């Protein structure tokens, strides 16, 4: 424990970094297009991710139209429906959530929050974005390829993924999907190296690990996980490409298709499932951990109170990151695994609920007796907590083998994962955008449009996914484009499906308002000033808003305290910035 006496404060020499260390752009192209500045790359990442996310949103509308009003729309054939669900799932999980949290928020916030001028490998960072863009374009190209995109389901399970019965299986669809994923992983690795090494190496003076904002902890841990988990998807994709293009039988068993014996034989589809879920489960937390981190900072800032149990929060993030690598087979309970195997994975799955619950308690306890400002970021943060608890609880159902087996492949699973890794992280993304938009643009987002967006999205999300749990419990299977005349499915399910579809259309519309707000406020938003939320973390203390190239003026900030000094008794303001030496003789608030 270190104290600064008033006299010794001047003794700290400011850490001056020679200017030559930083890359300087020379033209419009290198400033705004092929930029090596993490802030520009962040906006490029976020813009691309939101654009492709919009495609996924439209796909979800089409799916819902089919489910709510089957047979009404001629162009939604069963094949098209499969293509929609596949592309919707893959885009949302990989190309939107992963790219936006790590590529978008990671790039923008890491250098600013740790007090660095930029990422440590700016050139690789730039390449990362352009390879990501290429991956997105390859993915989009599959919509226009002969046969259309793949309809194999986002899990791309073989053998069906590469057979002619599946849309895109013997056409371009699956190939473009696999190539796109491989590109994404290569691009991500370049960015990921940056995020990790910047946190390790480029922290400002005084920024110990335990003074990092939880946002950085979340993104850092998620990136480490992603760097170790994405190779599994890479291996799965490469091996499936071999099966599809070179005729190997890594995954493909002996098959008869349309009365014809295929040349495959002896392969194991389960092997693919292991590889896929070895990536797939950590992926859930790759999306969730940045959300956990960001929401901690939002709650603390907007409740004007230090985060409850900071150390516990850090340990929980690390523990969740480690544990998430030994739970993957809980996605495979119905694959015919050994019962003891299932028992093991059910146990680890339930253990992961412990650190997660610690985080939820700490968020709630941070709110307890806080000075809660119901600003838009706080509203979204609260919506996240509620939604995450909801989805987490159904996760406990599905983590148990005996409960999972009957619920597997029903709409219950769909409702569960949309709540826990769809709606919940997206609430955080919205909250984070409302929170950091003033720093990125210098203007506030419009409040009235924001409130409309929040309430419609929040209530609408529940109108969509709450009924879906019941639909699943009745036994309605997922991935069926049409239920038809099925004895065990009552009429009420059809009514619910129509209701869900209407809700989904309305929620989708609210996102257009949000999108409009992003552009409208750029010009007409209220001037924000440097630190509109009166927050402590370093990104709000930059000399300019939006931060200029190099983030800080001549001198890098020196960090004197942790990120959560809100409402400190005796302090002149209700927050003390991290780079503020603070008034002398400030009483301890232990």
Partner 1 sequence: MSVILVFLLVIAGIAGWWLSQQRLMSKPWLEHGPDVAFAQEDVTGMPTAKIGLGVFLAVVGALFALFASAYFMRMELSDWQAPPVPRLLWLNTGILFLSSVALHCAVLASRNDEIRTTRLALITGGLTALAFLAGQLLAWRELAAAGYFVDSNPANGFFYLLTGMHGLHILGGLVALALTTYRTWTKPLDGRLKLGVELCAMYWHFLLFIWVAVLVLLAGWASDFIDICRQLLS
- Range 424-463, binding partner 1 (CB under 8 A): none
- C-alpha to C-alpha distance for 141 and 137, rounded to whole angstroms: 6
Identify which range of 5-13, 340-348, 449-457, 500-508 contacts partner 1 by CB under 8 A.
Answer: 5-13
In the set 93, 214, 232, 327, which binds partner 1 (CB under 8 A)?
232
Q: Which residues contact 24 (CB under 8 A, 6 or more apart)?
A: 549
Instruction: Please give the helix or strand (H or E) that residue 255 lies within, else none.
Output: none
Nearest CB to partner 1, comparing residues 116 and 152: 116
Residue 9 engages partner 1 in binding (rule: CB under 8 A):
yes
Cα dihedral sign for 566, 571, 576, 582?
negative
Distance in angstroms (rounded) separating the CA atoms of residues 429 and 1: 36
The encoded tokens of residue 42 equal 């962040």
Could you tell me if 503 and 460 are in contact, meaning their C-beta atoms sit under 8 angstroms apart?
A: yes
171-200 residues near partner 1, rule: CB under 8 A:
189, 192-193, 196-197, 200
Nearest-CA neighbor of 550 among 27, 25, 199? 25
Q: What are phi and psi of 261, to 5 degrees?
A: -80, 125
Q: Does 12 bind partner 1 (CB under 8 A)?
A: yes
Least distance from partner 1 to the Cβ atom of residue 327, Å:
12
Stretch that binds partner 1, among 152-160, 322-330, 464-472, 492-500 (CB under 8 A): 322-330
Residue 245, classified by CB atoms within 10 Å of its CB into exposed (0-12), middle (13-18) or buried (19+), is exposed
Site residues for partner 1, window 252-271 (CB under 8 A)? Answer: 263, 265-268, 271
Cα distance from N-terminal residue to C-terminal residue, the chain: 12
From 355-363, 383-391, 497-505, 578-586, give the range in contact with partner 1 by CB under 8 A: 578-586
The residues facing 205 across adjacent strands are 558
List the structure tokens of 553: 């003026």
Q: Which of 117, 203, 281, 330 contacts partner 1 by CB under 8 A? A: 203
List the beta strands (DSSP E) in 347-476: none
Shortest Å, Cβ 442 to partner 1: 30
Residues 129/123, Cβ–Cβ less than 8 Å: no
- Which of 81, 84, 220, 564 is the binder for partner 1 (CB under 8 A)? 564
121 binds partner 1 (CB under 8 A): yes
Query: Residue 473 is inside which H or E element, if any?
Result: helix 447-474
Q: Which of 76, 94, 102, 120 binds partner 1 (CB under 8 A)?
A: 120
Least CB distance from residue 366 to partner 1, whole Å? 13
User: Is 391 within 8 Å of 465 (Cβ atoms)?
Assistant: no
- Determine if 21 is a binding residue for partner 1 (CB under 8 A): no
Is residue 344 a contact point for partner 1 (CB under 8 A)?
no
* Three-state secondary structure call for residue 475: coil
242 binds partner 1 (CB under 8 A): yes
Told to check if 249 binds partner 1 by CB under 8 A, we report: yes
Q: Which residue, 56 or 329, has its beta carbon nearer to partner 1?
A: 329
Asked if 536 is part of the footprint of partner 1 (rule: CB under 8 A), the reply reads no
Q: Is 573 in the site for partner 1 (CB under 8 A)?
A: no
Least distance (Å) between residue 278 CB and partner 1: 6
């Amino acid at each position: 424990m270190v104290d600064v006496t008033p006299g010794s404060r001047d003794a700290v020499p400011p850490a001056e970094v020679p200017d030559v260390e930083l890359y300087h752009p020379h033209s419009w192209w290198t400033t705004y297009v092929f930029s090596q500045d993490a802030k520009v790359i962040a906006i490029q990442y976020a813009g691309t991710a939101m654009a492709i996310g919009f495609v996924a949103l439209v796909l979800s509308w089409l799916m819902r139209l089919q489910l709510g009003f089957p047979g009404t729309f001629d162009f939604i054939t069963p094949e098209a429906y499969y293509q929609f669900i596949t592309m919707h799932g893959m885009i949302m999980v990989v190309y939107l959530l992963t790219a936006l949290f790590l590529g978008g928020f990671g790039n923008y916030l890491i250098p600013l929050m740790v007090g660095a001028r930029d990422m440590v490998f700016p050139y690789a960072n730039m390449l990362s974005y352009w390879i990501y863009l290429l991956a997105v374009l390859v993915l989009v190209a599959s919509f226009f390829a002969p046969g259309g995109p793949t309809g194999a389901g986002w899990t791309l399970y073989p053998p069906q993924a590469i057979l002619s019965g599946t849309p895109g299986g013997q056409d371009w669809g699956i190939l473009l999907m696999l190539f796109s994923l491989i590109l994404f992983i290569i691009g991500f690795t370049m960015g990921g190296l940056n995020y990790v090494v910047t946190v390790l190496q480029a922290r400002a003076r005084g920024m110990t690990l335990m003074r990092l904002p939880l946002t950085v902890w979340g993104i850092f841990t998620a990136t480490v996980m992603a760097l170790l988990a994405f190779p599994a998807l890479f291996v799965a994709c490469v091996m499936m490409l071999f099966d599809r293009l070179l005729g190997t039988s890594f995954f493909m068993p002996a098959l008869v298709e349309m009365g014809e014996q295929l040349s495959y034989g002896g392969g194991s589809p389960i092997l693919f499932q292991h590889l896929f879920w070895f990536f797939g489960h950590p992926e859930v937390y790759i999306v969730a951990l940045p959300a956990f981190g960001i929401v901690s900072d939002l709650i603390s800032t907007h409740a004007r109170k230090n985060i409850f149990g900071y150390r516990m929060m850090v340990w929980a993030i690390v523990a969740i990151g480690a544990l998430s690598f030994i739970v993957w087979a809980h996605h495979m309970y119905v694959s015919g695994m050994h019962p003891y195997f299932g028992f093991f994975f059910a146990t680890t799955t339930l253990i992961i609920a412990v650190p997660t619950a610690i985080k939820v308690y700490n968020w709630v306890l941070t709110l307890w007796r806080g000075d809660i400002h119901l600003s838009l970021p706080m509203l979204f943060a609260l919506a996240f907590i509620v939604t995450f608890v909801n989805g987490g609880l159904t996760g406990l159902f599905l983590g148990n083998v005996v409960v999972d087996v009957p619920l597997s492949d029903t709409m219950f699973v769909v409702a569960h994962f949309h709540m826990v890794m769809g709606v919940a992280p997206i609430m955080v993304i919205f909250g984070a955008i409302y929170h950091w938009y003033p720093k990125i643009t210098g203007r506030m987002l419009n409040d009235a449009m924001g409130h409309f967006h929040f309430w419609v999205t929040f209530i609408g999300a529940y109108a969509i996914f709450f009924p879906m749990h019941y639909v699943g419990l009745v036994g309605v299977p997922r991935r069926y484009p049409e239920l038809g005349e099925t004895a065990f499915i009552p009429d009420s399910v059809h009514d619910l499906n129509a209701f869900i579809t209407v809700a989904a259309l309305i929620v989708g519309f609210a996102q257009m308002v949000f999108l409009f707000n992003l552009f409208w406020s750029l010009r007409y938003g209220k001037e924000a000033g440097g630190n509109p939320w009166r927050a402590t973390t370093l990104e709000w203390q930059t000399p300019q808003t939006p931060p200029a190239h190099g983030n800080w003026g001549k001198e890098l900030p020196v960090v004197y305290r942790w990120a959560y000094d809100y409402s400190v008794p005796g302090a002149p303001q209700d927050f003390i910035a991290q780079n503020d030496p603070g008034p002398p003789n400030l009483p301890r608030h232990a």
